[in-house]
Amino acid sequence: MRTFTNLSSSARKKPDYIFHPETDFPLLPWGLAEVDIPTVIFHTDPYAYTHRRVRWSRLFDHVVLLHFGFEDCFKQAGNPRPMTLAHAVDVEYFEGPPIERVFEVSSVGRTEGENYTTRREMLTELSATFRTNEWWRLHPYEEMAMTYRASKIVLNIPRDDFPVDVSLRFAEAMAAGALFITRLPSELPSLGFEENIHFVAFRERSEVPGLLRCYLKDEKARGRIAEAGREKVLREHTYNRRAKTLLELLERDGCRLHAPARRWSEERVRLLYLDFFSAQRCLEHAWLEWRKIAGGGLREAAAGAALLLRAWTRWPRRQVNADAPHSS
């Protein structure tokens, strides 16, 4: 399997950067600490398992965070230039002639699990009074966009474990021309949005039914705030704008290689890979990393053995195949 170690010599044209997006598949190619190309990792939800993300980011030259408030954690771990570029919107899904706004209030997102208890309870209560979408199920992106375009109000009820969260919902709702209502405190002021100018806010859940009735009745005020939010999102918070900003920041840095792991021994680097694979339940790959570590540093081998043992006891036991393919 090809690794980043020989990428620059085998590619027809050497890439300017290597981007590592967050995916459902636990991908961490070997050679990140050696390749002579700046590497960039994206953390979609840095509030989840922050301590792990901080550790694994030491393999990368640049860290991009999609939520505010986490840069200091990464700086303290040795990443000198973490940058925050919040979620944005893919404009093409929200274009087209106006459609009838048949939903009084809508919400699209997860509702199962302990982190969404408040969201689930509030939407259940509100759907008994207001005309809502089918908020209890997940929507494909295209359907979400059509739902928001057909909504008068989009209500954001944040995760219970990260109550300032507006995720992608703020940009999607505003791009769709719906009035966005969310809880305060929120990330929105950090993005330049003003309460009652671009969005409406509640502090207590008991305020929500009254706010919904108020803005459903006051079509003029609802339209004014929704249009101001839409204009700001389309001007400042699209993925095209985010990509332009990111490339400008990277170019300004001059392609320097900042990753702390570039100065580490191979055993220490492999221990970080082992940590990643064990946390992701990829025990075959974690085991193979430990075998390579065991022939080198004693301290790293002991630490790796502890990580493996913890992973085996935490997750359901799986057959460990010592002949499994590996990235190096």
Hey, what are 146's tokens?
A: 């059509």
Does position 305 have pLDDT exceeding 70, yes or no?
A: yes
pLDDT of residue 284: 87
What domains can you pick out in the chain, each with its CATH number?
1-88+238-257 (no CATH), 92-236 (3.40.50.2000), 264-328 (no CATH)
Q: Are 192 and 237 in contact (CB under 8 A)?
A: no
* Cα 153 to Cα 103: distance, rounded to the nearest angstrom: 8
Does position 317 have pLDDT exceeding 80, yes or no?
A: no
pLDDT tens for residues 189-203? 999 999 999 999 999
Query: Amino acid identity of 221?
Result: A
Q: Are 19 and 32 in contact (CB under 8 A)?
A: no
pLDDT tens for residues 31-90? 999 999 999 999 999 999 999 999 999 999 999 999 999 999 999 999 888 999 999 999
* Cα 244 to Cα 251: distance, rounded to the nearest angstrom: 11
Q: Is the sign of the CA dihedral 102, 142, 235, 133 positive or negative? A: positive
Q: Are 78 and 101 in contact (CB under 8 A)?
A: no
pTM: 0.88
pLDDT of residue 5: 55
pLDDT of residue 323: 35
Does position 290 have pLDDT exceeding 90, yes or no?
A: no
